[in-house]
Amino acid sequence: MINKFIYIPLPNTPPFSVFIKEKNQAIKMKTYTYLFSIILIISFYRCSSKEIIQLPITTSSPEALEYYKRAMLSYQVGDVIECNEDLKLALSIDPNFAMALEFYKSQNQRENIEFQLKAKSQFQNISEAEQKIISIRESYREGNMDKALENAKWLVDNHGDSYESYVWLGLVQSDRYELDDAILSLKKAIELNKDSYNAYNLLMGHHIGAGEQVMLPADKRDVELGMKYGDELIRIRGDHGYPYHFKANVYRQLGQFEKAKPLYEKSIEKRKGRSSEPTAYLVSGHNYMFSGDLETARKRYNRAIELEKEPNWKFVLSFYLTVSHIFDNDYYGALDNINKVEKGLSLYNFDEVSLLSRKRDISWQKLVCYAHNQMEEEAYGALSDQVKYNKMRAKLLNDDNVFRNVKSFEQYLTAWVNILFGKYEVAKKNLITLRGLQEKINDPTAMHGYHHLLGLTHLMEGNYEAAVENFKKGDETDIYFNYFKGLSLKAAGENIAAEKIFTDIININFAAWDLAIVKKLAQKQLGET
């Protein structure tokens, strides 16, 4: 969830220096926090007729704060390497800088956990607002979305004059699928700061696909409104390519691929030499793929992989070549690419945990291809590898949240594979176990996967009404299971509702494994309808 946890200063904040000599370090840190807040308020007041209030950030060094602010500006537009470089500089000056510790992203996953724990150890030295932000992020890692909401509401209740409080609340509400409330919160953030980039970003993502961003149901999405939010992103950060790529996504979603092309090229131009340049080539490749030019699409994907310096992201980018084959219903081509990536894992120089993560990802990719190409023996072999690598990784990380997620995911995947190969009674036993695990999680979305798979089981057994009811209890924006919901509705005689779902699916133009599997199947269903 890369772009979800972002503190965003107002762009172009003037530099400043403060020098205070105190014998007591705790007093010193609190004094800096207070002075930083005052100076920020004064700076923004001078630049604007409306006072822009930000949440306090605690550090022992004004220089470290400047590096942190710059890092967050990079983070919001996907320049991960630049962000980490500045966070590293901030921490070299102030090793106890809690917010820098929390946001720093290492390739070593155990190191990330150590940084997060160190950030929490600084709670007595930082503001309560910072404590709540760190706690929100921790809640995401724990899967405790009730706790995340509680902390976000505290920010609004205690810092309701800061636009950032409403951005955090809007983010959490979005991820809880409380989208009407989220929209109100994000609009309040904009009311307090018309240049709230993150608020516009989240609002646009409700209407236009943006990776892991939670979208409104298809019938509530407003592409024109999404476009207006995109124009605001360009106004605020026209210095960077990301807003152009996001607006190009609008045209791609509309199927206006030629209109999207110059905006994607603008994104490439603006990102040249930056760590997000590979992303610019990636999304341009998506545009070519959906326009039917697979050859150019794969050239763009390969260029993205070539430019990417960060090993984990280089690996992730390679998956889109695999997805391009799945879109073409070429599972053998997809498997060839997966095997090629697997053979090259040694070239990435991963640490032990990251290597297991990548092996786990590869086994999952194989599982998807084998299962949907009805290669039963190979699918169960990939499932076994997936479970093995997950357990090995969890043991190394030694984290309760990871152990819990591994148990749930094992039952989920096993049930899924059993359903796809007609072993419904065995799958039901997996689902009973899954339900027991997920019911303990304080997250309104925790049971979505359970209902998806129970709905799929009912569909395969011919109990169409029960299938529809369970799919309705799941995530109604999930493309893969929406396809099966459409099949259930069609089988139950609700042809109009089914046709709408299939139409919505074929009109999606965003590259993802689930869409790759079902898009052509939905087209076929519409032909039959």
| Confidence bin at 477 (pLDDT 50/70/90) | confident
Find the mean pLDDT for residues 330-337: 97
Find the mean pLDDT for residues 165-181: 96
User: Does the pLDDT value for residue 525 go beyond 90?
Assistant: yes
Higher pLDDT, 187 or 208: 187
User: Does the pLDDT value for residue 29 go beyond 60?
Assistant: no
Task: Report the pLDDT value the prediction gives residue 210, as an integer from 0 to 100.
Answer: 61
Task: Report the pLDDT value the prediction gives residue 26, as an integer from 0 to 100.
Answer: 38
Distance CA(30)–CA(522), nearest Å, equals 59
User: Does the pLDDT value for residue 10 go beyond 50?
Assistant: no
Residue entry with tokens 């998807």: 368
Q: Which residues contact 425 (CB under 8 A, 6 or more apart)?
A: none
Homologous superfamily (CATH) for 2-200: Tetratricopeptide repeat domain (1.25.40.10)
Instruction: Provide the token pair at 260.
Output: 């999207």
φ and ψ at residue 58, rounded to 5 degrees = -100, 125
Task: Report the pLDDT value the prediction gives residue 72, as an integer from 0 to 100.
Answer: 96
**Contact between residue 380 and residue 356 where contact means Cβ atoms under 8 Å apart:** no
| Confidence bin at 250 (pLDDT 50/70/90) | confident
| Confidence bin at 66 (pLDDT 50/70/90) | very high
**Contact between residue 55 and residue 130 where contact means Cβ atoms under 8 Å apart:** yes
b/e code 238-251 from CB counts within 10 Å (16+ = b): eebbbbbbbbbbbb
Higher pLDDT, 117 or 400: 117
For the entire predicted model, the pTM comes to 0.79
Task: Report the pLDDT value the prediction gives residue 211, as an integer from 0 to 100.
Answer: 60
User: Does the pLDDT value for residue 16 go beyond 80?
Assistant: no
**What tens digit of pLDDT does each residue of 124-147 get?**
999 999 999 999 999 999 889 999
| Confidence bin at 185 (pLDDT 50/70/90) | very high
Give the alpha-carbon dihedral of 432, 436, 442, 446, to 10 degrees.
Answer: -20
Q: Provide, rounded to the nearest whole percent, the portion of the chain with pLDDT above 90.
A: 75
User: Does the pLDDT value for residue 282 go beyond 90?
Assistant: yes
Q: Which residues contact 113 (CB under 8 A, 6 or more apart)?
A: 397, 399
Task: Report the pLDDT value the prediction gives residue 8, as an integer from 0 to 100.
Answer: 28
Task: Report the pLDDT value the prediction gives residue 187, as an integer from 0 to 100.
Answer: 98
Task: Report the pLDDT value the prediction gives residue 161, as an integer from 0 to 100.
Answer: 97
From residue 371, give the alpha-carbon distance in Å to each of 3, 334, 381, 382, 422: 32, 13, 11, 9, 12
Task: Report the pLDDT value the prediction gives residue 346, as an integer from 0 to 100.
Answer: 87
b/e code 318-344 from CB counts within 10 Å (16+ = b): bbbbbbbbbbeebbebbbebbeebbee
Find the mean pLDDT for residues 354-364: 95
- CB under 8 Å, gap of 24 or more: what pairs does 516-524 form? 516/323, 516/326, 516/327, 517/326, 517/368, 517/372, 517/480, 518/479, 518/480, 518/483, 519/327, 520/327, 520/329, 521/483, 522/483, 522/486
**Contact between residue 473 and residue 447 where contact means Cβ atoms under 8 Å apart:** yes
What is the overall mean pLDDT for the chain?
Answer: 89
| Confidence bin at 107 (pLDDT 50/70/90) | confident
